[in-house]
Amino acid sequence: MLGSDFSEGTPRIANEGFDSSARDLIRAVDRQLGDVPRFELAFSDALALFDFCTERRNAVRAQTESIAEGLEEHTRWQHLNEAMRKATAWQHIAGREGALSIWDFGHNIHQLFINTRKCSPLGALEHVLFNPVHILRL
């Protein structure tokens, strides 16, 4: 019943031979299983952006201190504040995106659990689908 289509990297569940309501639930579970790598990638991208912003803030701080030595104190802080504000804003966006991807992943797993329980053909696979080791291998 469970198969893999490695060209898409998405698990596929055969739904032939079931009634229409079971097919609909199987399609939903199949789609939800396929979304797991997408949430993982979104979280990874958010972390990478957050780290990039941290590096950028550190670079801006160092650059501003060396460039602005001859500038008046007010001008130096104005330059630093604008550059830091932009890097900090992007860092906040990255943090929010990371949190949303965690929430989306949890919601997806919750819906996956509900749909698996509703669908008797998949109910037999519940112990496989919700084994934490198996989920991490998806």
The pLDDT value recorded for residue 48 is: 96
The number of domains in the chain is: 1
Residues in contact with 37: Cβ distance below 8 Å, sequence separation at least 6, in sequence order: 9, 10, 138
**Which of residues 29 and 70 earns the better pLDDT score?**
29
- Whether 127 shows a pLDDT value over 70: the answer reads no
b/e burial code for range 49-79 (CB count within 10 A of at least 16 → b):
bbeebeebbeebeeebeeebeeeeeeebeeb
The candidate with the shortest Cα–Cα distance to 87, out of 58, 125, 124, is 58
pLDDT, the chain, mean: 77
Is 3 a residue whose pLDDT tops 50?
Answer: no
**pTM of the complete model:** 0.67
Write out the residue range of the structural domain in which residue 82 sits. Answer: 2-137
Which tens digits make up the pLDDT trace of 32-80? 888 888 999 999 999 999 999 999 888 887 876 666 566 666 666 676 7
